[in-house]
Amino acid sequence: MTQDAPPLLSETPKVLADRLDEQIDAIRKVTDFEIREYPIEVLVDKFTCGLETDEAEIFIPDYQREFIWSARQQSRFIESLLMNLPVPYMFVADVPEGPRAGHLEILDGSQRTRTLANFLQNKLTLEQLEKVSLANGLKLQDFSLPGQLRFKRKTVRVIELTRRADNEARREMFERLNSGGTKLESMETRRGTLDGPFLKVVEACAKNTLFLELCPVNKSLADRAEHVELVLRYFAYCDNYARFTKRVDKFLTDYLKTRNQADDRQAEASSVQEFEAMLAFVKRHIPNGFRKSPTANTVARIRFECLSVGTTLALRERPELSPNNVVAWLESDEFTKHTRSDASNSRPKVVNRVQFVRDNLMGRPVQYDGDTAKFEASANLDAPADPEQLSLVA
């Protein structure tokens, strides 16, 4: 969204008021919207059809947050729908141009959309329900046929921004919709409470010129210490990815505490050396660096994690590695599946996407986690652990 020139001291109140009206009218044209109601079955179909190849009509953009709802939170949302309780509008935006022109980008409602998909695909087993308690332990397929049909016909209200909303307007809408009652992001909290020698190493690496070149983020994310967050994730996953459980915030906080307390200068120097070697390798061998495309202005966390950590693991085995045919697997449907924006952070998925990069760089068959099929079939296993306080606005 563009900003008009500030008011001039010589302007009369009427001239200023007229200019203000023009400015508001121009902005309203950009944020013009339509209200729709989608049956749940239709909404989920638009979200899941083409999901594996990142071509679904309704999609979650890369800048959105990861799937963070626990199985209990997902169950409570489904319970609200079963009880016919009002739920917030979803917000989507019609993409005006580019390869996804005409598709709908989710601005607010990604957690709800993924929960509905899990339930309709019979991956979510309802749990800890207090009102509709007889549904505990059930999937949608366990409901009566009339009950299944009625649930699928329930409608979700959606506010759709028209194609006049450009990329900047969509980002701003996302920030505004998700800024109410904002709590400090985890990285901001860590910087305020977990200062120590290793945090200083992380912060120094986050200012690395090559890193900033290969891994751009938008200004809003940069202001919330996104580069520091990415570097901490890199070190934590490099050392402990196979032992990751479910909650990223706790995983990162515990790792930072341990490294701060160790205060091991030799280990810190080694970590920095690996980080710099990884960046040099990515610059030399990975087209577009960590970007999804040459014009992308923000790198998704999941994409950065698997490329950076997978590269370091490969270099640990073969320091002089020179990979072949990188573009083939970078553009494969399998890599898209591992790095699409709705990918979760269960242990098998973290392991699989990291080892997919590592093993492809090494030119060998990918070693997948043995629990993959079990987690993919169950949204309960795949979901993060339940947080202390539940929030159903996402």
Between the alpha carbon of residue 228 and those of residues 163, 245, 383, the distances in Å are 34, 22, 25
Whether the full predicted model's pTM is greater than 0.85, yes or no, is no
Average pLDDT of every residue of the chain? 86
Query: Rounded to the nearest 5°, which phi and psi values hold at 270?
Result: -65, -40
- Determine the pLDDT at residue 192: 72
Spatial separation of the C-alpha atoms in residues 356 and 350, rounded to whole Å: 10
Between the alpha carbon of residue 64 and those of residues 34, 71, 75, the distances in Å are 22, 20, 22
- Strand, helix or coil for residue 347: helix
pLDDT digits (tens, 9 = 90+) for 187-214: 767 777 788 999 999 999 999 999 999 9
Residue (of 43, 30, 39, 111) closest to 75 by Cα position: 111
Please give the order of strands across the beta sheet that includes 33-39: 33-39, 155-161, 90-94, 104-108, 58-59
Amino acid at 187: M
Q: Which pair of tokens denotes residue 245?
A: 């459980």
CB 43 within 8 A of CB 28: no
Spatial separation of the C-alpha atoms in residues 237 and 252, rounded to whole Å: 9
**Strand ranges (E), the chain:** 33-39, 58-59, 90-94, 104-108, 155-161
- Confidence class for position 262, pLDDT limits 50, 70, 90: very high
CB 30 within 8 A of CB 166: yes
Q: How large is the angle between the packed helices 40-48 and 110-120, nearest 10 degrees?
A: 100
136 vs 342 pLDDT, higher one = 136
Cα-to-chain-centroid distance, residue 348:
17
- Confidence class for position 393, pLDDT limits 50, 70, 90: very low
DSSP character at residue 389: S
pLDDT digits (tens, 9 = 90+) for 22-70: 777 666 655 677 899 999 999 999 999 988 888 899 998 876 667 888 8
Spatial separation of the C-alpha atoms in residues 209 and 70, rounded to whole Å: 37
Query: Rounded to the nearest 5°, which phi and psi values hold at 200?
Result: -65, -35
Query: Rounded to the nearest 5°, which phi and psi values hold at 323?
Result: -75, 160
CB 306 within 8 A of CB 265: no
Within 13 Å and on the Cβ side, how many CA atoms surround 387?
A: 12
Spatial separation of the C-alpha atoms in residues 339 and 298, rounded to whole Å: 14
pLDDT digits (tens, 9 = 90+) for 278-309: 999 999 999 999 999 898 888 989 999 999 99
